[in-house]
Structure 1
Amino acid sequence: MTESPIAGSTRVWDLPVRLFHWLLVPLIAFSWWSGEEHYMDWHRLSGYAILALLVFRIWWGFAGSRTARFGQFVRSPGTVLAYAKTLGSRSAHAADGHNPLGGWSVIAMLAVLVTMVVAGLFAVDVDGFESGPLADYVTFDQGRAAAEFHETVFNAIVALVALHVAAIVFYLGFKRLNLVRPMITGRRARAAGEAAADVRWSPLLALVGLVLAGAIAWAVSTGFRF
């Protein structure tokens, strides 16, 4: 899919990746708020929306543009270690997508979010009145354990978000790299002599992913009772 070019820049993030990122932020915040305020109907709807986003992102990790694919940004431990050794240097250039450390932070965030959502699907409150759509498939004690784990995992998400924000501040303040702007515009500045190709994505594959994500989220919301 083509967009109007910007002189001296290259397209590094496709639209689906950016939408996933910016939709996930308010949904996580809303899920926390609705859970704390015991608006459980809203909490469940928010959880289903997050589930749909996660399903789409996993699909897009195989069907998306170059920088969206897991195979492009999940690097070997040796590559990550070599990259980590360069963090003390002020000289830096924008990566073609996620850098080696950033790639693994994405995997960590996706894994923790999937864990939190799955635990919530089986969760049961202390009175047994509120429960996830899959709670009938486990015992009451297992549902309670899932509920407690669901809450605990959220702390890991907060920690990962804090690290993510700290990394953004570090790259901006120390390395003079703005990582937020490209996630908004989709583009970053092209270094002198750099021959980086714009990322391209398929609207048809994105539509397939949206249908798949919506179907799975709906099926889960019914407890697989059709």
Structure 2
Amino acid sequence: MTTVRIWDLPTRLFHWALAACVIGLVVTAKVGGDAMNWHFRLAYAVFTLLVFRVLWGLVGGHWSRFATFFPTPGRIARYLGGRAPASETAGHSAVGALSVLAMMAALVLQVASGLFTDDEIAFAGPLTSLVSGDWVSRATTWHKGWGQYLVIGLVVLHVVAVFAYLARRKNLIGPMLTGDKRVADGVALPSSRDGAGNRVLALVLLAVSAGVVYAVVQLGAAPALG
């Protein structure tokens, strides 16, 4: 067996940080009250992480790039037919990629709607002043209803899938902790870049992502024109 670096450190930290933040978001939403202050902070953290992941999907390590795992019809057909080569299963498989992209899309919708929500008691999203009351009502209804249930459902599905793979002796957790995966000798797979330069780039992109989030949030504080 040969060891290949699949997940670079920035991708691994993103994964676990996002998981922790999503759990925190669910808990603080259910607790309510003063915990909502932390709900907002965690939401901004998730927003930052999502922007970072989009950027990292363009310039990150080989297996973290969207081009490597994007679930095209051909890749999906090969995976479901048991014909997918190692280059299409070492990282995210075609079905796994669908799960990842669905989770990111659901979180984007949830974060976006949260920016415009208003509980009409004590907490309102930072951009509520930019849209009409009808849009605030729609965003609030989605955020508190189908939006949160969609995210929770996808998280549960993800966890079930991970343990289902474990039952089939396919460990998805180990590589996301160590970054490495063991493959059969003779299988030629590229290793993801994971050196100091790559990590410095990730820090720069994380700072840029935080700046983007700050700028978006501040839009609601800007005086209206006209």
Q: Where on the TM-score scale, by shorter chain, does this alignment land: which range?
A: 0.7 to 0.9
2:77 is the alignment partner of 1:81: yes
> What SS class does the counterpart of residue 181 from structure 2 fall into?
strand
Q: Secondary structure at the match of 1:197?
A: coil
Contact (CA 8 Å) 1:52, 1:214: kept in 2 or not? Answer: yes
User: TM-score under structure 1 normalisation?
Assistant: 0.87
Residue of 99, 104, 107 corresponding to 1:110: 104
**TM-score, scaled to structure 2:** 0.87
- Map Cα deviations across residues 110-149 of structure 1 (whole Å, 9 max, x no partner): 111000000000111134x311000111122321221111
Q: Residue 181 of structure 1 aligns to which amino acid in structure 2?
A: G
Instruction: Quote the residue 2:120 is aligned against.
Output: 126
Consecutive unaligned residues of structure 1, counting only runs of 5 or more, are 1-6
Give % identity: 37
Amino acid at match of 2:147: V
The equivalent residue for 2:206 is 210
Question: How far did 1:93 drift?
Answer: 10
1:142 matched to 2:138? The reply is no
Q: Deviations over 1:66-110 (max 9, x none)?
A: 1111111003113202312339xxxx9993211111112111111
Within the candidate set 7, 10, 20, 1:13 is matched to 7
Counterparts of 2:87 and 2:190, CA distance in 1 = 16
- Please state whether the residue corresponding to 2:4 is helix, strand or coil: strand
Which of 3, 9, 17 matches 1:23? 17
- Greater alpha carbon shift after TM alignment, 39-48 vs 164-173: 164-173
Note the aligned Cα RMSD (angstroms).
2.1
The answer for unaligned runs of 5 or more in structure 2 is: none
In the aligned structure 2, how far is the partner of 1:33 from the partner of 1:26?
A: 11
Moved over 6 A (4+): none
Residue 184 (structure 1) aligns with: 177
Give 1 or 2: higher helix fraction.
2
- State whether residues 75 and 88 of structure 2, in contact with CA within 8 Å, keep that contact through their aligned partners in structure 1: no
Please tell me whether the aligned partners of residues 93 and 191 of structure 1 are also in contact (alpha carbons under 8 angstroms). Answer: no
- SS of aligned partner of 1:188: strand
Find the aligned partners of 2:142 and 2:66 in 1 and give their Cα distance: 27
Q: How many residue pairs end up in the alignment?
A: 214
Amino acid at match of 1:56: F
